[in-house]
Amino acid sequence: MDHKIKEPIDAVITWVDGNDPIHQAKLEKALGNKSRKHIPGADKTRFGNANELKYSILSILRFAPFIRKIFIVTDEQHPEVFPDIQKYFPERLQDVSIVDHKEIFKGYEQYLPVFNSRSIEAVIWRIPGLADRFIFLSDDMFLVKELKPEDLFVNGNAVMRGTWLPAPFLRNAWNNIRKNVNRHLLNNPDFQPKPSFHIGQWNAAAILGFKWRYFFSSHTPHTVNRKSAEAFFKENPEILEKQISYKFRHNNQFNCASLYYHLEIRNGNQNFAKPSFVFLHPYGRRRGYIEKKLKTCESNPDIIFMNIQSLEKCDQIDQEKLIGWMEKNLSL
């Protein structure tokens, strides 16, 4: 079947295997004498791996066959996903490739290695051969129903999933109080607030001149106009360099999806849509939590995406329950 569309759309997935001894050695060297507890962005759960990448890729190939290429962005690692692609979608094997951090950080190698999705996502538009329209997602995001090109781009413009929220002035004020108390009263000069999903998105909006509200996006694949991202960072190289200089996620950084969306909004794009996703954080939940979430995926026709966080922390029974559901949903 020919799934080509007039304007190609690619997918970019960021991935890391935190169990890899080489990765662990790099991370420990980057930490130096500092403890993980003093660097919230170095928490082990950020680098966990429960083979989610396999299902993320297969879900794209199953439910969004119009996606032209899938790029897996990683740091000198080689995920064992190609045998499964060969098994279930042999005709698409050549459409999935690995992109090393060195390729997208070309010219900025002094900041490698990096263990920070916010830094990495700021340069994914530099992937060689990437389509002018693409989506990016982490390996814990999955498609659960058929996706159409117009769910992502309409008339060449990105579809932005989320909702408007007021600027988080109180949250920022509280963070400043905590920093001052820790640094000046508790003798904790290294203290930094945990990087916030909301503050990161607000930081992006503020950079682009938004003063009172921001468009808050959820844990779904994000749409990007590559040329817009490239133009912005070429006009503002100091913003790019500051963003990628953080090896670990930091509260001062911006959320890249939010930056790309607010660029769209500033340029007049009003293609807003509901998040259309189910969010699962299954570790340590009450009985029936997983079943309820999966039932929502099945029964709600508006649900297209699913995000499962910290799957590697779940016991084997819950992991098998979720993986079994995904395999059935993908007809594997």
Q: The CATH number of the domain where 29 resides is what?
A: 3.90.550
Contacts of 19 (CB under 8 A, 6+ apart): 49
135 pLDDT exceeds 90?
yes
- What average pLDDT does the structure give for the chain? 92
pTM for the whole structure? 0.91
| Mean predicted confidence (pLDDT) in 316-331 | 93
Decide if pLDDT at 5 tops 50.
yes
Q: Which range marks the domain in which residue 43 is found?
A: 9-155+220-251+275-329
At 148, give phi and psi (nearest 5°). Answer: -110, 155
Q: Is residue 311 part of a domain?
A: yes
Residue 174 lies in a domain: no
Which pLDDT value is given to residue 1?
42
E runs forming strands in the chain: 9-14, 70-74, 96-100, 133-138, 141-143, 153-154, 157-158, 160-166, 213-217, 222-225, 272-273, 277-280, 305-308
213-234: per-residue pLDDT in tens? 999 998 899 999 999 999 999 9
- Would you say residue 261 lies in a domain? no
In a domain, 256, yes or no: no
Average pLDDT over residues 319-326: 93
Residue 206 inside a domain? The answer is: no
How far apart (Å, rounded) are the C-alpha atoms in residues 12 and 78? 15
The string of pLDDT tens digits covering residues 83-102 is: 999 999 999 999 999 999 99
Number of domains in the chain: 1
Determine, yes or no, domain membership for 203: no
Distance CA 187, CA 189 (A): 6
**Interatomic CA distance for residues 36 and 45, integer angstroms:** 12
Provide mean pLDDT across the span 296-305: 95
SS3 content of the chain, % helix, strand, coil (to 5): 45, 15, 40
Residue 291, in any domain of the structure: yes
pLDDT exceeds cutoff 70 at 3 = no
- Position 13 in a domain: yes
Measure the CA dihedral 163/167/169/172, to 10°: 70
pLDDT above 60 (res 38): no
